[in-house]
Structure 1
């Protein structure tokens, strides 16, 4: 026994097999590994300065709430001065942010670089670098085949969205070898991206681009991208802020034979599914993969189900091999008396049309104006789940990170227990429900959300805030952000003096209270980690 103890105490990290060392390093930032371990000894150098390991370098730090920061100056100095000259011919992909970009690109030549990501840039700063920096300009025009651009801008009344020059069309013009582009340009506080369809008819032309991931404002923007100006496009993954009626000048009838993969996401409700989305999908005769995330409002109609999907859409896609979807239908049948499908009817319809691995739940309540049906693929393929209500039947949603609960009927305690088990990796939860719990007098089940970081209860009854913030009700080890009404918070904490919510509130680094209030005496001691 003593021999075993002594052997364990004398174990050195260098005694571990290379496979285990690589597994450990895969959990760490590559920049930290390069900074700390290159030059320590020959074994580490052989493992780290390996093309398979160092081909992709990310010069950013991921912070709480998905914020981005640069790496520190000391680390950047060592990487750029001592390490990049040894590995520059092995780097294929770089991720850079505004404060370190010049140093990174002036350190060495990246002769094998073909993939580049710009994150956390304003349009003005990014334009300056790609137009005025000769190294970056040359890379983009001659080498880059894969590009990721993340731009966000402030908008003022003197400089509205429409006045922003279009960096998207410039990128397509510059990058002569580009075949894969991910592009997002958001305007802070507006929840808007830029308008593509307002550009001239000669803008945004590319003969090489085959794959595009993009956020746009309107359905017109989507049709604009599919009008033939991207002549080699075979994959379009598009997130549309809002889908409404299109311009009469944009054609939504011409076939799209080159398109093989199409993914459409829109978080806002749309009333134009039948008139706009269905005609677009019917144009994709050679489609092999289809992904839909939609919330549809229908008037005097029936639910979108398997029979509808097959007869109205899929029958026009004979080569379709992969289908993933989450489609919520909200019905308002005011004048017509229509027999609505039950959940059993929905399931039978999918089986009849040979669409398998599908789940659904239906709310047919004659006492309410709105009826609702949610159909989705299994296993659930999306990281968001919207408008979960009190009729939720339960299922496993391991991929979901963001959940919105919304209902006019109360969410009882047992539902939260189910959710904590069915959404085990949830990071963001928003509750929209002003109805008080009916079974509050019953003993509350203790719930645990191991990964929950952000909680939004500003439009929820005080019962739901109590369910999560009181330590006797919930274990939230990662909670760091809370959005809540001041009155609710003051009542639950007894004006920031009781201990019931102190443990969960003490972890908060961000507190959002939209109405103005004066900080009472014990406010700051109740939230010691707040970033003011």
Structure 2
């Protein structure tokens, strides 16, 4: 008999011939159901697939569930199935974001209900995937609302740091791994404990894409509690006033000295400093590099940009090799390196980007898929003789808030080759200019595989516009 411990039905889409599902249930599952340990299913197949008994099953992944459909299954008591209460120890929930933001309350209900229903749950990934940031909000829930004495590993997105503090308040008393994204780290709303030590926590990953002014007051005290931590991962944007950049010395004094068992520290931290009331000489990139010497950090990358009046500046420090899929707020001060894991890059600056920087990025981010450019300043050096740049894996380009020079740079084939561009975000006026009011030959533009065109403002497309993009 053929051995099978994993069954994935997530590649089948809604337009499937349902006879195929029937065939799987009638011909295949009866032969292998006693061997299956892991299942991955989508909404259209969950009921027939879960009607079978799987004595070895411990891991279940529910993927591509619209929130309303997921709610319907809760209402239909599907999750009261013995499978969830008695067998599942590993659960992955992937919910599609096609409903209003108000559905955060429904997602919170899902999360708390799952903890209550799954009595043997050890590992839970609740909507923590690279292509979405669906959050839950639990900070205001009374203590009985959620708890688990079995859960050890949790991946989750939350709204504010109070949610994170509540997850660590003892209701998940066996938690050893917490991987969390926080939308906004701002002042706490509640009086949640941020002092009690967390001796069971061994792995902590914190990602927050928005700037916070509460790194020193909230993030550092939270990390001080993790006295037995073995691995730490931080992706943060910090705003400071009348202060200095976060460097190797500060990381050691404020964080690492409290974690004697730490084996691995992965980080990407960008500090934006504004000094109005005191005069401080902000560190140079050389100073920043020196601050990491002798502290057992391994190789560290950095770049610094200080404004001419020296009252404000920014500094980005990151461990090498770079371990994150995202690289946000890349500026003209970027010094290069290899970033094989980065799929999503955001470029932001008030100084112009030049062709040379785009060339460096195409080489240093070889697997880049999503590129966002925010810059209103025109390129200073522009020539038709620049060498061709290629982004072989780029599928999404966001240039709605970019100067038209960058639109030309990326959409004209004589400057840049984008063989797999599928999604384009752009201003209508920029589109008019590079197409000469939709009269230039489309063959000269990177539209060969374009599937989705997102235009910022409302507009009435001319007949020439519709003919030009008839392939969409």
TM-score range, shorter chain: over 0.9
Q: Quick check: 1:76 aligned with 2:21?
A: yes
- Count residues in correspondence: 471
The structure that has the greater radius of gyration is 1
8 A Cα contact 1:389 1:405, kept in partner: yes
1:305 to 243, 247, 260: 247
RMSD of Structure 2 on Structure 1 (CA): 2.3
SS at match of 1:465: helix
1:94 aligns with 2:44: no
CA distance in 1, matches of 2:310, 2:376: 17
Quote the Cα distance in structure 1 between the aligned partners of 2:141 and 2:96: 19
Secondary structure at the aligned position of 1:278 is classed as helix
Q: How much does 1:149 deviate?
A: 1.1
1:125 maps onto 2:125 in alignment: no
Once the 2 structures are TM-superposed, how far is the Cα of residue 185 of structure 1 from its aligned partner? 8.6
Which of 404, 407, 425 is matched with 1:483 structurally?
425
**Superposition deviation, residue 501 in structure 1:** 6.2
C-alpha distance 131-515 of structure 1, shift in aligned 2 (>3 A) = closer
More helix per residue? 1
Q: Secondary structure at the match of 1:139?
A: helix
The gaps in structure 2 that reach 5 residues or longer are: none
Of residues 79, 93, 102, the one that matches 1:149 is 93
Please tell me whether the aligned partners of residues 97 and 121 of structure 1 are also in contact (alpha carbons under 8 angstroms).
Answer: yes
1:315 is matched with 257
Contact kept? 2:239, 2:271, Cα under 8 Å? yes
Residue 393 (structure 2) aligns with: 451
Q: Which of 401, 405, 414 is the matching residue for 1:463? A: 405
Contact kept, 8 Å, 1:413 with 1:445, in 2: the verdict is no
Alignment match of 1:103 (pick from 48, 61, 82):
48
SS of the counterpart of 1:217? strand
Higher relative contact order (CA 8 A, sep 6+): 2
Instruction: Kindly state the Cα deviation for residue 292 of structure 1 after the two structures are TM-superposed.
Output: 0.1
Deviation larger for 356-365 or 224-233: 356-365
**Alignment TM-score, normalising by the size of structure 1:** 0.84
Candidates 313, 327, 330, aligned match of 1:388: 330
What is the deviation of 1:111?
1.8
Q: Do structure 1's residue 339 and structure 2's residue 292 form an aligned pair?
A: no
Q: Distance in 1 between matches of 2:447 and 2:224?
A: 51
Is the contact between residue 395 and residue 422 of structure 1 (CA under 8 Å) also seen in structure 2? yes
2:377 matches 1:427: no
The answer as to whether partners of 1:123 and 1:153 remain within 8 angstroms in 2 is: yes
> What secondary structure, in the 3-state scheme, does the structure 2 residue paired with 1:241 have?
strand
2:114 to 139, 152, 171: 171
In the alignment, what sits opposite 2:8?
58
Aligned equivalents of 1:326, 1:268: Cα separation in 2:
13
How many angstroms does 1:153 deviate by? 5.7
- Residues 156 and 267 from structure 1, CA distance in 2 versus in 1: closer, same or farther, beyond 3 angstroms? closer
Cα distance in structure 1, aligned partners of 2:57 and 2:66: 23
What is the CA distance between 1:124 and its match in structure 2?
4.3
Off by >6 Å, runs of 4+ in structure 1: none
Please state how far the C-alpha of 1:126 moved relative to its aligned partner.
2.4
Matches within 5 A, 1:159-198: 161-162=104-105, 166-184=109-127, 193-198=135-140
1:399 Cα deviation after fit = 0.6
Q: Decide whether aligned partners of structure 1 residues 69 and 239 sit closer, same or farther in structure 2, where only a CA change above 3 A counts.
A: farther
Q: Is the 8 A contact 1:119 1:151 kept in 2?
A: yes
- Distance in structure 2 (CA, Å) of the matches to 1:72 and 1:244: 50
* Matched position secondary structure for 2:34: helix
Distance in 1 of aligned mates of 2:284 and 2:228: 33
Give the TM-score taking structure 2 as reference length.
0.94
Q: Residues 397-416 of structure 1: CA distance to partner in whole angstroms, max 9, x if unpaired?
A: 01100000000111101111
Instruction: Work out the CA distance in 1 between the residues paired with 2:128 and 2:257.
Output: 36
Deviations 1:332-356 (A, max 9, x none): 1112111211111111111132322
Which residue in the other structure is 1:11 paired with? none
Render the CA deviation track for 1:73-107: whole Å, top value 9, x for unaligned.
Answer: 3432332221111111121111222122112223x
Q: CA deviation at 1:289?
A: 0.3
Distance in 2 of aligned mates of 1:184 and 1:77: 29
1:85 aligned onto 2:24: no
Q: Is the 1:219–1:246 contact (alpha carbons within 8 Å) kept by the matching residues of 2?
A: yes
1:273 is aligned, of 215, 220, 225, to 215
